[in-house]
Amino acid sequence: MDSLSYALLLVSLLCSATGQSPVVSVEPQTTTVREGESVSLRCQVGSGAHATQLQWRRANNQALADNVKIGPNGVVLTIANARPNNQGEYQCVASGSAGSTVASAQINIKYPPKVRLSPTGPLRVKIGDRVSVQCRATGRPRPKMSWRRQGSPLQLLSEEIDGVNTIQWLIVRPEDAGVYICQAENIVGVTEVKVEVIFGGVPGAPMAAVSHKEMTVVEGHTVTMRCQATGSPPPVITWSKLRAPLPWKHTVAGGALTLTSVGRQDSGQYICNATNIHGFSEAYTQMEVESPPYATSLPEQVKLQHGDALTLRCLAHGSHPIQFHWSRVGRGNLPAGSHSTNDGQLVIPHVKSSDSGIYKCVATNHIGSSEALAKVNVRA
Ligand SMILES: *[C@@H]1O[C@H](CO)[C@@H](O)[C@H](O)[C@H]1NC(C)=O
């Protein structure tokens, strides 16, 4: 117990023995003023009591702010040039010969919205980035918030949670570049804060661009992927392959990646990375390697009895789609009763000895074709 409380306790113990506590009230009970205005409270002590001392304090036990002044005799409390944090309950403590009594009053401070953006901008973005800006507003009464684009009265779609109103682009596009305004409004005032969305990095930051976002190359050929980068100092360009090492037959020169004699396993995404002291920028080329079909027959040789069923399958690797065509070497026409399917099967339900011979499958795609032979021998 500090000495003041001890003294007050002592006083009230003495007073309760000798008489009645003072009757106290504070006027006005509730006051609402705007920020910057002044407000006064008066502590009134009922007649008849011998009040010896009046004291003011805040109900939350915080010290009185430096713009709060107490008049002579402690009767009047005045707040000059009110601030938001002056809001609260104020208590007048009257200590008399017969004890002490507390009365309180509430002061409310209205103030116009104060708005803060996060990030503050300007926002430097790339096409396709996910971008969001939070607008946080305080004010009394609690302000209403909205977002709009400079030069347009239309309110933009945004989400508000606990005084934070967020505008968001899941995939930002060049036409989204511009100035956006968060507005917060209450009965005291309107506050607006702007943020600019700019495409492009910080000055000098690298910006990489590939000559082709997609490439299709035929197996065995040589391909060159070009990447150009702007930035200052001039960025260093490196190439890598997504989730795989670069093919071993590669060279990099002047920002271009060359792959010689590509195979199907070289298909994938290649990343150009331009780096300088300001950061890095990535650009992607998706490359597909296409190959002509390579056909085989299963089986390649077959011996059958008269009346047996013949099934030949033509298998082919290569880029899809692949078409199959069966024929008979030296004869042209397939035997009557035979049929072939789209996936490369040839079926003769009942073979005759005259069906013996060499059968040919030609597999064709848009790159080229390949043939496979099957030797069929039917014994009489
Ligand atoms: C690009 O370079 C930067 C900086 O050197 C690095 O952090 C980043 O991971 C690189 N990206 C790829 C895909 O290699």
- Do the strands 323-328 and 339-340 form a parallel or antiparallel pair, or are they unpaired? unpaired
pLDDT at position 6: 44
What distance in Å separates the CA atoms of residue 253 and residue 261, rounded to the nearest whole number?
Answer: 17
Exposed e or buried b for every residue in 54-80, given b needs 16+ CB within 10 A?
Answer: bbbbbeeeeeeeeebebeeebbebebe
| Nearest protein CA to atom 3 of ligand 1, as residue | 280
Ligand 1: centre distance to CA 133 (Å):
26
pLDDT at position 201: 62
Which sign does the torsion angle of CA 242, 244, 245, 247 carry? negative
State whether residue 307 is helix, strand or coil.
coil
Ligand 1: centre distance to CA 333 (Å):
61
pLDDT in tens, 247-273: 988 999 988 999 999 998 999 999 999
User: Is 271 near ligand 1, meaning CB less than 6 Å away?
Assistant: yes
Ligand 1: centre distance to CA 241 (Å):
12
pLDDT at position 174: 79
Percent of the chain's residues with pLDDT above 90: 68
Q: Which atom of ligand 1 is nearest to the CA of 240?
A: 14
User: Residue 52 above 60 pLDDT?
Assistant: yes
pLDDT at position 13: 39
| Nearest protein CA to atom 7 of ligand 1, as residue | 280
Q: How many CB atoms lie within 10 A of CB 203?
A: 9
Which is more confidently placed, 86 or 330? 86
Q: What is the mean pLDDT of residues 340-344?
A: 92
User: Which of the four pLDDT bands, split at 50, 70 and 90, describes residue 242?
Assistant: very high
What is the rounded average pLDDT for all residues in the chain?
89
Q: Which of 240, 282, 284, 285 to mutate to test ligand 1, by most ligand atoms within 8 A of the CB atom?
A: 282
Structural domain boundaries of the chain?
3-110, 119-199, 207-290, 294-379
Q: The domain 119-199 belongs to what CATH superfamily?
A: Immunoglobulins (2.60.40.10)
pLDDT at position 260: 95
| Nearest protein CA to atom 10 of ligand 1, as residue | 273
pLDDT in tens, 17-35: 445 677 889 999 999 999 9
Q: The domain 294-379 belongs to what CATH superfamily?
A: Immunoglobulins (2.60.40.10)
Give one word for 157, left, alpha or beta, with left for phi > 0 and alpha for psi -120 to 50.
Answer: beta
What architecture is domain 3-110? Sandwich (2.60)
Which is more confidently placed, 175 or 286? 286
Ligand 1: centre distance to CA 238 (Å):
9
Task: List the CATH code of the domain at 207-290.
Answer: 2.60.40.10
What distance in Å separates the CA atoms of residue 72 and residue 83, rounded to the nearest whole number?
Answer: 23
pLDDT at position 288: 94
User: What tokens were used for 124?
Assistant: 């430097």
pLDDT at position 97: 77
Percent of the chain's residues with pLDDT above 70: 93
pLDDT in tens, 64-110: 999 999 998 889 999 999 999 999 999 999 887 778 889 999 999 99
Ligand 1: centre distance to CA 329 (Å):
58
User: Is 188 near ligand 1, meaning CB less than 6 Å away?
Assistant: no
Q: Do domains 3-110 and 294-379 have the same CATH topology?
A: yes
Q: What is the mean pLDDT of residues 114-142?
A: 91
pLDDT at position 50: 63
